[in-house]
Structure 1
Amino acid sequence: MLRVLFVGDVYGQPGRRVLAQHLPTLRSGFDFVIVNAENAAGGFGLHREAADAVLKAGAGCITLGNHAWHHKDVFALMLDEAKYPIVRPLNYTDPGTPGVGWRSFDVKNAAGESERLTVVNVLGRVFMEAVANPFRALDDLLERGDLGSVFVDIHAEATSEKAALAWHLDGRVAAVIGTHTHVPTADTRILPGGTAFQTDAGFTGPARSVIGADPEAPVQKFLTERPHRFSVAAGPAELNAVALRLEDNRALAVERYRYLEGD
């Protein structure tokens, strides 16, 4: 059995701060930690400083999303596969796309036995940019052998698309957990075929915010119908995550987790 923790979108410096403070206290209870860090650099993308901070906190793998290419740093990071275990969305299918859309890890469980865990990242297409079909991309990947327990981070806007993907993959992967919308959902469950699912893991960033941004600019945008420059909110940060127990490409348990600074 593998004990896996998945931490939702790390947002800016407050997200990196709470991750650095709290993840090390959780790390000993898990065999492997996956962190979505596609907002870790000022709310958009990933750069070297942010990647180093996420890995230092205890992440074994970093997943990304639609802001994957925001910082030039990420191209060099993706080439340094030994130091930076980054998984960008699988359904960028151009052969010249840097990085990889999935990685397999041989993870030691609590008994000291090695088990294979494969981490996959895909982008949704509803209300998002044009990318290849994530359903087909995953079907193609799952035709490979020796993937072990498969964890899928579906970075998407539409709840229906995330749920449909989970049902499509039920019984073929261990977990499908959503990211991108930054709000944790209350539908944590194991589907009939043994696949853990939650529409969105939530985010790791400033709690007194509009999905990470200082509330003033989003409020003014909605009031005036004009663009406003967003900035990362200050104040206490929260960490949202999903804890899983996986065995033989099935979920034995899944649970939401939330920590708030000062609580």
Structure 2
Amino acid sequence: MNLLFIGDVVGNAGCEILSKRLYNIKKEYDIDFTIINGENSAQGNGITPQSYDKLIRMGADVITTGNHCFKRKEAVGMYSENEILLRPANYPDGAEGRGFTVVDLCPVKIAVVNLMGTMYLESLDNPFFCIDKILEQIDTPNIFVDFHAEATSEKKAMGFYLEKKVTAVIGTHTHVQTSDETILGGHTAYITDAGMTGPERSVLGVESEIIIKKLKYHTPVKFVESSNPASINGVVVSFDEKSGKATNISRIIMH
């Protein structure tokens, strides 16, 4: 089987290019299942019912998020109502929503886990202990982990930790696609960051001059999404659905 993972979708530009290109990407790569990180899919970041609906209509099977999952007040209730919308699993007990889901394609089951790193991000529960508990509850070998983390060291460590335990560990959050895709232990597909789906000439989706001003003068600024043309970043993972073993991981970059 082939699974498509789309890196952090940013605002209207990211949603628009994805709506135009996703069908053809799925057709070109013979995609059976699609995961999209949608935590920045709303204009101004975060996720709203409107941006969630856009991603579902495009063809997302599961939507993952990250540190902006509860950014928008409109998101209240969304995670409880939608089993295929995930927030990081290591949020404390009592937080709305779920951190993993298992989709039954009859007879194949695919599990998707959403985790968040703790280095330079919020002090959530330890993601390593969290994933241990989750794996005990999953009854399929086909397990895909979106690890939303800032530090490359933490992402690499999680990849090695889950080697031969899951089908893939795909990093998100830093919005810059890395070129270190590999198969760990002959089983687990890994990449430090899948990249961003949004304005290419920007600083992580934001107008470059705004970020330059912030970094140069250390003064407050209002982030505005770049109006430049967007691109799509992500990966395609081929795997054996009987064993959960990944056989290939390929980066995609489309303008």
**Range into which the TM-score falls when normalised by the shorter chain:** over 0.9
Deviation at 1:193, TM superposition (A): 4.6
User: Could you tell me the TM-score, scaled by structure 1's length?
Assistant: 0.92
CA distance in 2, matches of 1:147, 1:138: 15
Match of 2:194 in 1: 201
CA distance in 1, matches of 2:121, 2:77: 26
After TM superposition, the structure 1 = structure 2 runs for residues 36-75 of structure 1, keeping only pairs within 5 Å, are 36-75=37-76
Deviation at 1:226, TM superposition (A): 1.6
CA distance in 1, matches of 2:215, 2:77: 38
Is the Cα–Cα contact under 8 Å of residues 141 and 167 in structure 2 kept in the other structure? no
CA distance in 1, matches of 2:98, 2:117: 17
Deviation at 1:141, TM superposition (A): 1.0
Match of 1:111 in 2: none
Gaps of 5+ in 1: 109-113
Percent identical among aligned pairs is 39
- 1:70-111 per-residue CA deviation (whole Å, 9 max, x = no partner) reads 1122222222226xx2011000122x2111000001236xxx
Match of 1:168 in 2: 161
Is the Cα–Cα contact under 8 Å of residues 9 and 204 in structure 1 kept in the other structure? yes
Task: Identify the match of residue 183 of structure 1 among 143, 161, 176.
Answer: 176
Match of 1:258 in 2: 253
Change (3 A) 1:186 1:43: farther
Is the Cα–Cα contact under 8 Å of residues 27 and 58 in structure 1 kept in the other structure? no
- 1:10-33 per-residue CA deviation (whole Å, 9 max, x = no partner) reads 000000001101111122321110
* Letter aligned with residue 105 of structure 1: V
User: Could you tell me the TM-score, scaled by structure 2's length?
Assistant: 0.95
Match of 2:231 in 1: 238
Deviation at 1:191, TM superposition (A): 0.6
Moved more, 166-175 or 25-34: 25-34
CA distance in 2, matches of 1:116, 1:185: 29
After TM superposition, the structure 1 = structure 2 runs for residues 9-24 of structure 1, keeping only pairs within 5 Å, are 9-24=8-23
CA distance in 2, matches of 1:48, 1:175: 28
Residue 35, structure 1, aligned to residue 36, structure 2: yes
Residue 99, structure 1, aligned to residue 97, structure 2: yes
Show structure 1 runs of 4+ deviating over 3 A.
none
Match of 1:87, SS state, is coil
- 1:93-133 per-residue CA deviation (whole Å, 9 max, x = no partner) reads 22x2111000001236xxxxx31110000000011111000
- 1:174-224 per-residue CA deviation (whole Å, 9 max, x = no partner) reads 000000000000000001151100000001001110110001110111111
Change (3 A) 1:202 1:19: same
Moved more, 177-186 or 34-43: 34-43
Match of 1:167, SS state, is helix
Match of 1:196, SS state, is strand
Match of 2:76, SS state, is helix
CA distance in 2, matches of 1:223, 1:123: 29
CA distance in 2, matches of 1:43, 1:182: 16
Is the Cα–Cα contact under 8 Å of residues 194 and 250 in structure 1 kept in the other structure? yes
CA distance in 2, matches of 1:184, 1:13: 20
- 1:215-260 per-residue CA deviation (whole Å, 9 max, x = no partner) reads 1110111111222111000021000010001222211110000101
* Letter aligned with residue 224 of structure 1: Y
Match of 2:14, SS state, is helix
Change (3 A) 1:88 1:145: closer
Match of 2:4, SS state, is strand
Residue 148, structure 1, aligned to residue 141, structure 2: yes
CA distance in 2, matches of 1:71, 1:122: 20
CA distance in 2, matches of 1:140, 1:249: 19
Residue 215, structure 1, aligned to residue 208, structure 2: yes
